[in-house]
Amino acid sequence: MADSESYVRHAFFNKLNLTALGGAVVASLALMNPLPALVAVGAELVYLGVVPSLPRFKRGVRARRELARHGTEQQATAAMLEALSPNQRESFNALRDRILENYQRVPGGSVLAETSSVRMDGLLHSFVRLLSTLNSYRRYLTNTDRQAIERELAELKADLESASAASSEKVREVKKRRVEILGKRLERFDRAAESRELISHQLASIDDFLRLLHEQSITLRDPDVLGQQLDHLAIEIQATDETVHEMERFSAITEELGPSAPLPERVR
């Protein structure tokens, strides 16, 4: 249903369609006769009832969507690449270019090279996103003093255990709340460290796979075998994207990926 509405919307906002409708309205106003507008409305109903269901029209809409998505993805990749070191950018792009060059030397490999280029761009986007996320986790872990949090937590727990019955209930509640918050910060730190290690291994896996693909593209001369390697590449891209999305769902960490403020000194 949503797709059908989308196709109808694309058909309605087509420049030629809007121009025709506008021309009919102008003609009716100029002639002071509603007939041109009424004819245009009738034709529009027929147009919107037929054109959005045509396979060719649907293919065109999907192609424009894919082009827009790819353009947005390329812009995002370019922005993230700027944040990486020159060595990181150059090594990955050089390896990608060598693989595509070797594909073109295989009989019938030009088609494979074209297909591979699209998939390699997808892998590049995923690789850069992972690398950018890894750098963010590193900053977070570097700027967060886990030992300071542990000390503060231990002191608060000791205060609560040694507090007398005459202690203010409001003060106790505030301290309990702080214990809860600091405990969550420790959990978050440990989860960030685990995520950093996971991303590091995933990036190493992509790098190993690309180098294997490069070595095979030099020696293999069977397009079918290279096609199988492309299938493995697609699986690797999918696994990478799933990893990135899983990391992004960890929103509690991403909110703190910037430099962390030092713990304030306690006021007694």
Q: What pLDDT, on a 0 to 100 scale, did the predictor assign at position 38? A: 83
User: Phi-psi category of 35—alpha, beta or left, where left has phi over 0 and alpha has psi -120 to 50?
Assistant: alpha
**How many Å apart are CA 71 and CA 127, to the nearest integer?**
17
The per-residue pLDDT for 182 is 92
231-235, long-range: CB < 8 A, 24+ apart? 233/116, 233/119, 233/120, 233/123, 233/209, 234/119
- For the stretch 108-157, pLDDT in tens is 666 666 666 766 777 777 777 778 788 888 888 999 899 999 999 999 98
pLDDT in tens, 52-70: 887 777 777 776 665 555 5
Q: Distance of CA 114 to CAs 15, 90, 111, 177, 193, Å?
A: 32, 21, 5, 58, 39
In this prediction the pTM is 0.56
Among the listed residues 60, 247, 261, 37, the one whose alpha carbon sits nearest the alpha carbon of residue 135? 247
According to the model, what pLDDT value does residue 68 have? Answer: 57
Per-residue model confidence (pLDDT) at position 244: 63
Low-confidence ranges of the chain (pLDDT < 50): 1, 251-254, 257-268
Whole-number pLDDT of residue 264? 42
